[in-house]
Amino acid sequence: MESLSISPKPLLVPSELTLPPLPKIYDETILRKVFTHSSFIGRPKYSIDLFEDEDEGRDNEKLELLGDNLLDCAVLGLLQDLYPNLNVGNSTKLKSALVNNTTLRELSKRYRLHERLVAPPEQLPTLMNGDKVLANLFEAYIAGVFYSYLKHGPTSPNPTPTEALPTPPRSPNQHTPPLPSTYTAVGEGSSRLSRGQAIDHLDLWLRPLFQPIAESMLSQLKAEQLSRQLLVDTEDDDTDRKAQGANARLNQWFIFKEGGQPSYASSNAGLQGWKTLCTAVDRDGKSWYGEATRSTKKAAQAVAAYKVIKQFEQERPDFTA
């Protein structure tokens, strides 16, 4: 049974969080692209072209797309390692809270990434405070670290790769060169820098960053569930059983006896499921209300109707539904 008065609260990044060091991006071209907002390039918002020209590809939108997926992979792997027995529903809620725009904006601000944003001066104040812009910036930085590692390795600011990292073709007719398997980073000799190694390199940053946030958010979830349960325990445990079919009984009475039909307004209540308000107007013009929150819309409607019936029975002796 669900509580009727506790609303799900947003899961917050702990204020006392200690950030691990921000990994460096050694490639200057990638670094510029990470911090360049699309408004600075002035790319057309809509285009029928399948491929961008070189100038149009200088902002961070494509990096953000990759960073978003790399972050999802890292966080899901972390949650599986931390909480292998956490059920799918709560794993999904926790993962969504960890990677949503509000959380990533907060991390972007704490790393002061917003201070390096490149955009038209007149738009900067607005962009530097936007949830989505700063969340995208954080994801673009993740992709920037990924590509910088592939190209230069983890530490060398002056790489000498044996082959240039291939650039995707700008038209379907261009040949895609084979992916290189070996790079040489200055001072480290020959080493194989694979995409798997780049993901491992990201994990050295992302796991220490997101583990304490995940632990804090799970504690917040537990506290919220406990609060709901304390309120639920005060309700009549038999309410849901008694409410079965209540909306059908109420509807039938009002259609045939009151000259109208009850209305049901339902809305998603987040962690609580569905919230329904039942409103019934009798033949004298008096309005009756019942409200309930349950895990399904059908159950919420039945309990809301049952609450109207209980009120109606007290004032209308002729009510026999």
CATH of the domain at 265: 3.30.160.20
Task: Kindly indicate the confidence band of residue 183, based on its pLDDT and cuts at 50, 70 and 90.
Answer: very low
Its pTM stands at 0.60
Mean pLDDT for 174-201 is 58
Pair (39, 188) in one structural domain: yes
Pair (213, 286) in one structural domain: no
Q: pLDDT tens for residues 46-77?
A: 544 545 555 545 789 999 999 999 999 999 99
Non-local CB neighbours of 272 within 8 Å, separated by 6+ positions: 2, 3, 6, 7, 8, 228, 293, 295
Pair (256, 161) in one structural domain: no
Q: Looking at 9-13, 125-129, 215-219, 274-278, which range is the least confident one?
A: 9-13
Residue 215 token pair: 């632990």
Pair (67, 191) in one structural domain: yes
Angle at CA of residue 125, ends 119 and 129, nearest 5°: 100
Tally of domains within the chain: 2
- Looking at the DSSP bridge assignments, the partners of residue 131 are none
1 within a domain of the structure (yes/no): no
CB atoms within 10 A of CB 148: 24
Higher-pLDDT residue of 155 and 281 is: 281
Q: Which of 81, 75, 190, 206 is nearest to 146 (CA)?
A: 206
Rg (CA), the chain: 28
Instruction: Name the range with the highest mean pLDDT among 31-45, 120-134, 305-319.
Output: 120-134
Non-local CB neighbours of 224 within 8 Å, separated by 6+ positions: 6, 8, 9, 271
176 within a domain of the structure (yes/no): no
Q: Domain of 286?
A: 239-315
Non-local CB neighbours of 110 within 8 Å, separated by 6+ positions: 17, 19
What does the pLDDT read at residue 147? 95
Residue 256 per-residue DSSP state: I
204 within a domain of the structure (yes/no): yes
Place of tokens 């969504």: 96
